[in-house]
Amino acid sequence: MFGGFGRYYENIVVLTGAGISAESGIATFRDTDGIWTRVDPEKVATPEALARDPDYCHAFYNAMRTELRKARPNAAHEALAELEQRHPGSVLVVTQNVDNLHRMAGTTSIIHMHGEMDRARCGHCGTVMDLACDLTTATVCPACGKAGLMRPHVVLFGEMPFEMERIYQALDSCDLFLSIGTSGNVYPAAGFVEHLRFRRRGAHTVELNLEPSDGHSLFHESRLGKATEVVPVYVQRLLTGI
Ligand code: OAD
């Protein structure tokens, strides 16, 4: 797999954020029409908020889940699925998104570091399960039979994202890192490029985004534009070696 200038890339890690799903009709968080411009994250996206007003939080996540279920993958999700399929080395997508559009497009090598909206977790027994309906404070856990503590299996501010050890192992052995559609506001994901540049040098780092992210100066290369335009072009360049 050549990525321009004749360089061969064996292990690729792709970080994605809300921007890759924007053209599928899913609102981002921090753009002018973003979710956090309309809703205060302190009221819905912290463990304290969930404990204080679970009905309000459930209503927020139930509405979000309904919206996400209407969305379909776009050309950027499809290009990444094609990359995984055709690349002879490894491709791991690490997404901050709680939608399932990467999987719907065909990506199988994926870590949902901020969880998945279509899954629930029981606060009594810890069981994680697929979720087909809305959650309320009356929802009974099918595993332990207790009600009251079922919650979306998503990471709230102040909680540790999932599978961090596996993510850092992949970062430490990658030679190409792509960051797509993320503002670089939220750690630890925002720190991946810094990790690669200063702690484990060697990987080529590329940002594909509508506008320069907070950490844009840390990337070796940057392609600005809509994900559905820049991602397929960049993936074809990788696959053809041009
Ligand atoms: P943000 O809303 O912070 O950033 C979205 C980025 O996508 C911005 O840099 C936009 O410029 C870019 N963008 C918008 N439309 C685009 C398009 N069509 N093509 C390409 N790029 C586009 O979203 P994230 O960085 O994903 O966490 O936010 C990170 C985390 O903050 C989320 O996972 C969520 C949120 O709070 C939790 O809920 C834990």
Q: How confident is the model over 135-155, as pLDDT tens digits?
A: 999 999 999 999 999 999 999
Query: Which residues of the chain fall short of a pLDDT of 50?
Result: 1-3, 5
Pairing of strands 221-224, 204-209: parallel
pLDDT of residue 6: 61
Pocket flag, ligand 1, residue 209 (CB < 6 Å) = yes
Of the candidates 20, 12, 15, the one whose C-alpha atom is nearest the C-alpha of residue 204 is 12
- Say if residues 139 and 150 touch (Cβ distance below 8 Å): yes
pLDDT of residue 5: 47
pLDDT of residue 40: 96
Which residues are catalytic, by number? Answer: 114
Pocket flag, ligand 1, residue 167 (CB < 6 Å) = no
Tell me which of 209, 216, 223, 233 to substitute to probe ligand 1's pocket, judged by most ligand atoms within 8 Å of the beta carbon.
209
Encode pLDDT of 226-241 as tens digits: 999 999 999 999 998 8
CA 47 to each of CA 116, 170, 171: distance values in angstroms, whole numbers, following the listed order:
17, 29, 29
